[in-house]
Amino acid sequence: GNSVTQMEGPVTLSEEAFLTINCTYTATGYPSLFWYVQYPGEGLQLLLKATKADDKGSNKGFEATYRKETTSFHLEKGSVQVSDSAVYFCALSEKAAGNKLTFGGGTRVLVKP
Amino acid sequence: DTGVSQNPRHKITKRGQNVTFRCDPISEHNRLYWYRQTLGQGPEFLTYFQNEAQLEKSRLLSDRFSAERPKGSFSTLEIQRTEQGDSAMYLCASSLGTVTDTQYFGPGTRLTVL
């Protein structure tokens, strides 16, 4: 079956530091890949997505590239802010499986001023 | 467009009681998904609907769980004879059902079973 593995947190950074959260996946077909973010006290929000190999998703300074050869979708941001403190979830979906999402366990990121 | 809404936001119940949650999707979204999220974990798929048809149920969804979407709009998730292990955040998401689907999530219903 499908699965998503992401690095465990918490990740603690200083403001303006570089952030990387690793995500790898296992899928039977050709999935779409997503990063969702959950800010404190709020619901899940889509951060970015990529639907095919070599696509790059980007939003709010975050980027992730769909790497089929390494089955990875690592999330990066060049200069984090305190407001980026949240839990980040990597996820995949497959059309053949009703597009239901399979999530990783989440990575908590804490950015200190 | 007011987004996906869920009610109630919090529910505290005693073991053995029945509870029902409601989800109102984004209008014109024909797919509706239910997920469950326990503390410190990622959401896990429970079931989904295409309009009023329930197309898939996870093995996580025991016989005590039932979901409906009677007119292809809002959905309800009922848990009968609740157990302490049912304590979790129940999330609803909706989408247009296109090939490269994007699901939009509601704020969730937090269930605590005492």
- Structure-model confidence comparison of residues B96 and A23, the more confident one: A23
| Residue owning tokens 């804490």 | A110
pLDDT higher than 80, residue B1: no
- Residues belonging to chain A with any Cβ–Cβ distance to chain B shorter than 8 Å: 4, 32, 34, 36, 42-46, 49, 51, 89, 91, 93, 95, 98-106
How far from B73 is each of B4, B24, B51, CA to CA, in Å? 11, 7, 7
A37-66 mean pLDDT: 94
Determine whether the interchain pair B101/A32 forms a contact, defined as Cβ–Cβ distance below 8 Å: yes
Determine whether the interchain pair B103/A42 forms a contact, defined as Cβ–Cβ distance below 8 Å: no
How far from A21 is each of A34, A71, B33, CA to CA, in Å? 13, 14, 27
Count of C-beta atoms within a 10 Å radius of residue B80: 14
Task: Tell me if A75 sits within 8 A of A65, measured CB to CB.
Answer: no
pLDDT at residue A30 in the model: 86
Provide the pLDDT confidence category of residue B100 given band limits of 50, 70 and 90: low
Q: What is the per-residue pLDDT across B33-86, written as a single tens digit (0 to 9) for each?
A: 999 999 889 999 999 999 999 999 998 888 999 999 998 899 999 999 999 999
Task: Tell me if A56 sits within 8 A of A50, measured CB to CB.
Answer: yes
CA distance B43 to B110: 13
Task: Tell me if B13 sits within 8 A of B76, measured CB to CB.
Answer: no
Determine whether the interchain pair B45/A102 forms a contact, defined as Cβ–Cβ distance below 8 Å: yes
A34-51 mean pLDDT: 93
Q: Give the closest-approach CA distance of A21 to chain B in angstroms.
A: 15
Provide the pLDDT confidence category of residue B99 given band limits of 50, 70 and 90: low
Q: Give the closest-approach CA distance of A95 to chain B in angstroms.
A: 6
Task: Tell me if B30 sits within 8 A of B96, measured CB to CB.
Answer: yes
A49-58 mean pLDDT: 95
SS3 assignment, position A9: coil
